[in-house]
Amino acid sequence: MNFIRNILKNSRSQEDGNFFLILKDILGYKPKHETLYIKAFTHRSMNIKDKKGNPINYERLEFVGDAMISSVIAAYLYEQVPHGDEGYLTKMRSKVVSREHLNDLGKDLKLIDLVKSRIPKSNFGNNIHGNLFEALVGAIYLDKGYKVCEKFLFDRVINPHVDIETLEGKVISYKSLLIEWCQKEKNTFSYNVYEDTGKDELKHFSVKLSINDKVVAKARATSKKKAEEKASKRAFFALQNQINKLI
């Protein structure tokens, strides 16, 4: 452990001298096992390994944090919505722990300011914010246990952001909602995706969404997934009166 502690601390420059002061402000307490939190903000591009050659970065803590967030949210929903069946509770939890929401939480805490990386922060994708939030939660659990981790999630996620009525009306994936509706109504559907770069520097994809062999929406984005989701959202609003009962 001392070996890992020395490696991690030496990997951070003097400009990170306020790391634990900022972290204490976020957590509300002084960390017991400091190496966990340094690891939680160490990007894989640092290429740091322990004596056995295992990589040292936030990705394993991200795995733990993801599980803890799901666990705490599941228990909360179970208590708060006694009438909700398994399908309802699963949908509601998915809305709370959606990648978009976790990214927003990471941004609110400005966690990217603490990350140590050889890659310029401007080059990171949006998901870095949610990844760091999950890694931080994982570090909290391993450092302080379930109760402290639960309190952090109540303070930072549940109390300020989780409202049952609002969540019931929130759509996290228009594509999933549209497919569910089509399957229930026995409608055929297809996403015709093709590359459409044109004069853009970045590669773009266009998609035509057809339902019962009729094109109901078109969209264009920098990835197939984004283009399909954008087309699905447009189709949702075009067919909103028919689909709304599924939300």
Q: Give pLDDT tens digits for 8-17.
A: 555 554 345 5
Domain ranges of the chain: 2-168, 174-246
Same fold, 2-168 and 174-246: no
- The pLDDT assigned to 15 comes to 47
Q: Give pLDDT tens digits for 72-86.
A: 999 999 999 999 899
What is the DSSP code string of the chain? -HHHHHHHHHTS-GGGTTHHHHHHHHHSS--SSHHHHHHHTB-GGG--B-TT--B-SSHHHHHHHHHHHHHHHHHHHHHH-TT--HHHHHHHHHHHT-HHHHHHHHHHTTGGGG-B-SS-GGGS-TTHHHHHHHHHHHHHHHHH-HHHHHHHHIIIIIHHH--HHHHHT--S-HHHHHHHHHHHHT--EEEEEEE--TT-SS--EEEEEEETTEEEEEEEESSHHHHHHHHHHHHHHHSHHHHGGG-
pTM: 0.72
Give me the CATH code for the 2-168 domain, please.
Answer: 1.10.1520.10
- Positions marked active-site: 66, 134
Residue 4 in this model has a pLDDT that exceeds 70: no
Residue 247 in this model has a pLDDT that exceeds 60: no
- The pLDDT assigned to 14 comes to 37
Domain 174-246 class, CATH top level = alpha beta
